[in-house]
């Protein structure tokens, strides 16, 4: 398979055990792993059997070596990760939600090596050699002005090398703090709109289109995500004609541990929509009644899409592409931590099961 390049920040994730809150857990035992949206996508693609290359900047210390080793262990190409003499590894802290109590994330990313590394420091010509797709998100430009400029350069270089660019809006309200006096949505919208002319594959919902992309679909507020997606896609296409495919996940949160999950793909080249999961022509979302960890589900969906589009069997049919990605991200809710530790076979088995699990002996 051809290589997918992802570019962004990877951090240390500090999690409480079980459903303990941070105040209950500290001081005390916590779980530490490595995670970050773009790294999650690369790792998930590699675990599915694809070819993924992750690009970032890390400080020169043993934490970074452990991080790189973790990525290599799941099959990610880490050859182009930069080592910096300044800065630190960013962190984020997680406490899982339960029933009516939502989960919580606290970021500690200021001063990281990645946030202060200029885009010119990366060897883009070699990074994009043999690759067909770049995946980035709206999280990286939220970290710092330098990171935003680096990502814009990355996207420009990717297009110069003939790559398709995949972009997940991923607005994070706790970030976008690097321009004091500017509202976060305003800053995010201004920066992301500058990147949009380079985007071929877009992961976005209606709220992203309206608040970040300055696109107004003009459909009734009462419409479901399935019904509104064609309006959103067509409005995006008029404003940003480079976009050829729109992906939207559809989460219905019954509680912190019980969600209904599905997704929709809209192919702007022919105006066709593909909804998943679909039984006898009707949308029937996955019933995820015992969520283990929902962080990273969107990243696993993006990884599933990019992997399936390049798969010789799945890529022949866009319904199969979105079915595969939706099943993959459904399984991610059953995996502790961000990276989706499932195989292609695991995903295909779920697709064939109709959403039911069993024990294989």
Please name which of 303, 356, 349, 330 lies closest in space to residue 1, comparing C-alpha atoms.
303
When divided into structural domains, the chain yields a total of 1
Query: Which residue in the block uniquely carries the two structure tokens 């949009």?
Result: 196
Lowest mean pLDDT among 65-69, 108-112, 222-226, 259-263: 222-226
358 is a domain residue: no
Q: How many CB atoms lie within 10 A of CB 190?
A: 14
Q: Give the per-residue pLDDT at 355.
A: 61
What is the pLDDT averaged over residues 114-119? Answer: 98
Dihedral (C-alpha) 231, 216, 157, 34: value to the nearest 10 degrees?
-90
Residue 93, beta-bridge partner list: 14, 106
pLDDT tens column, 10-39: 999 999 998 999 999 999 999 999 999 999
* Structural domain harbouring 156: 8-353
Query: Which residue in the block uniquely carries the two structure tokens 């793909």?
Result: 265
361 is a domain residue: no
pLDDT tens column, 291-334: 999 899 999 999 999 999 999 999 999 999 999 999 999 999 99
pLDDT of residue 152 exceeding 60, the answer is yes
Instruction: Give CA 1 to chain center in angstroms.
Output: 20
Q: Give the per-residue pLDDT at 54.
A: 98
Non-local (6+) Cβ contacts of 243 within 8 A are: 196, 199, 200, 201, 202, 236, 237, 268
pLDDT of residue 224 exceeding 90, the answer is no
pLDDT of residue 354 exceeding 80, the answer is no
* Alpha carbon distance 276, 262 (integer Å): 6
359 is a domain residue: no
What is the pLDDT averaged over residues 244-249? Answer: 97
Instruction: Give CA 298 to chain center in angstroms.
Output: 5
Looking at the chain, the whole-number percentage of residues with pLDDT higher than 90 is: 90
**CATH number of the domain to which 223 belongs:** 3.40.1190.20
360 is a domain residue: no
Residue 98, beta-bridge partner list: 101
Q: Give the per-residue pLDDT at 360.
A: 43
Mean model confidence pLDDT for the chain: 95
1 is a domain residue: no
3 is a domain residue: no
What is the pLDDT averaged over residues 230-248? Answer: 96
138 is a domain residue: yes
Residue 208, φ and ψ in degrees, nearest 5: -65, -45
224 is a domain residue: yes
Non-local (6+) Cβ contacts of 198 within 8 A are: 155, 156, 158, 159, 165, 242
């Amino acid at each position: 398979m051809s290589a997918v390049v992802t570019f962004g920040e990877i951090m240390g994730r500090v999690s409480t055990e079980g459903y303990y809150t941070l105040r209950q857990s500290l001081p005390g035992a916590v779980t530490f792993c490595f995670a970050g949206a773009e790294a999650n996508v690369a790792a998930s693609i590699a675990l599915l059997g694809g070819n993924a290359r992750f690009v970032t900047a890390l400080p020169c210390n043993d934490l970074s070596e452990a991080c790189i080793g973790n990525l290599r262990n799941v099959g990610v190409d880490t050859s182009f990760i930069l080592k910096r003499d300044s800065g630190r590894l960013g962190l984020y802290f997680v406490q899982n939600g339960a029933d009516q109590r939502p989960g919580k994330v606290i970021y500690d990313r200021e001063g990281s090596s990645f946030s202060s590394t200029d885009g010119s420091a990366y060897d883009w010509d070699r990074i994009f050699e043999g690759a067909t797709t770049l995946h980035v998100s709206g999280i990286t430009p939220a970290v710092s002005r330098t990171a935003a400029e680096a990502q814009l350069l990355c996207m420009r270089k990717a297009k110069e090398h003939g790559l398709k660019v995949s972009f997940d809006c991923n607005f994070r309200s706790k970030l976008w703090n690097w321009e004091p006096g500017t509202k976060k949505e305003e800053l995010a919208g201004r920066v992301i709109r500058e990147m949009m002319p380079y985007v071929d594959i877009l992961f976005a919902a209606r709220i992203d289109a309206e608040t970040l992309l300055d696109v107004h679909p003009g459909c009734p507020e009462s419409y479901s995500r399935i019904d509104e997606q064609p309006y959103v896609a067509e409005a995006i296409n008029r404003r940003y004609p480079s976009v050829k495919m729109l992906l939207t996940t559809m989460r219905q949160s019954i509680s912190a541990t019980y969600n209904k999950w599905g997704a929709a793909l809209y192919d702007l080249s022919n105006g066709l929509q593909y909804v998943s999961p679909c039984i006898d022509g009707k949308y029937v979302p996955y019933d995820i009644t015992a969520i283990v960890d929902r962080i990273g589900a969107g990243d696993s969906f993006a990884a599933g899409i990019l992997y399936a589009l390049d798969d010789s069997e799945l890529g022949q049919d866009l319904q199969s592409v979105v079915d595969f990605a939706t099943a993959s991200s459904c399984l991610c809710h059953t995996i502790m931590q961000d990276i989706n530790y499932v195989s292609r076979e695991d995903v295909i088995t779920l697709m064939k099961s109709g959403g039911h699990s069993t024990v294989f002996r």
